[in-house]
A and B are shown apart, each in its own frame.
Chain A
Amino acid sequence: AQTVTQSQPEMSVQEAETVTLSCTYDTSESDYYLFWYKQPPSRQMILVIRQEAYKQQNATENRFSVNFQKAAKSFSLKISDSQLGDAAMYFCAFQGGSEKLVFGKGTKLTVNP
């Protein structure tokens, strides 16, 4: 069974600075997708960025980028120029041959003004 580990329960960053959230996963599959979701307090889960495992190029979406290391089974999220609105729980998720998403326990990101 696949597992997803987020080793940082909480992180904080100063506004306008850069922060990196870590995620590792375990799988025997070769084709899969990885995602980062954002869940603001009392609000719904929002897809931030996705990465297809067959693509070597790291995904980028505006201020959000990933560092995907397939051999190391690592998938970190970098947030540049952090904004107050980035404060949220961030979940790393894996999707393999099964349609279901397997989530990590999340990292709570605080952005300090």
Chain B
Amino acid sequence: DTGVSQDPRHKITKRGQNVTFRCDPISEHNRLYWYRQTLGQGPEFLTYFQNEAQLEKSRLLSDRFSAERPKGSFSTLEIQRTEQGDSAMYLCASSLDYEQYFGPGTRLTVT
């Protein structure tokens, strides 16, 4: 069991560019979550998948954000037309029941 992995670990982009992050959950986990964490704050929920179905989305997930989980395995989170306010750590977690296990995160810096 290799744990939850995320790629890339760091991303620097210019305002207005699109970025995509990938999350690979623990292999037998059917639930996958995305959170965003800004400096000095706890993580905030963005969206949640059970298998390939996206079951819940936060109001934080504006129309510039889209997430997918094709075939119920890995997931991608895309941010279009990035803004400086998008700078944050994007965390992915997976679970089989109610315990969520987190990946190392992708730190996004928008310049």
Contacts and interface: CB of A to CB of B under 8 A. Distances in A.
Interface of A: 4, 33, 35, 37, 43-47, 50, 91, 93, 95, 98-106
Contacts, number: 53
B98 A33 contact: yes
Given A45-B91, A50-B99, A100-B56, A106 B41 contact: yes
Contacts of B31: 99
- The residue among B35, B43, B91 with the most chain A CB atoms within 10 A of its own CB is B43
B42 A106 contact: yes
A interface: dominant SS: strand
Contacts of A102: 45
B98 A95 contact: yes
Contact of A45 (B40, B41, B43): B43
B103 interface: yes
Consensus secondary structure, chain B interface? strand
B48 interface: yes
Given A101-B43, A103-B43, A45 B98 contact: no
Chain B CB within 10 Å, residue with most, of A46, A95, A98, A103: A103
Contacts of B55: 99
Closest 3 CB pairs of A and B: A103-B42, A45-B102, A100-B45
17 contacts: A33-B98, A35-B99, A43-B104, A44-B103, A45-B43, A45-B91, A45-B93, A47-B100, A91-B42, A98-B56, A99-B50, A100-B48, A100-B56, A101-B43, A103-B43, A105-B40, A105-B41
A34 to B, nearest CB: 11
A44 B35 CA distance: 13
B105 interface: yes
Contacts of A37: 102
Given A44-B105, A106-B42, A99 B56 contact: yes
Contacts of B42: 4, 91, 93, 103-106
B65 interface: no
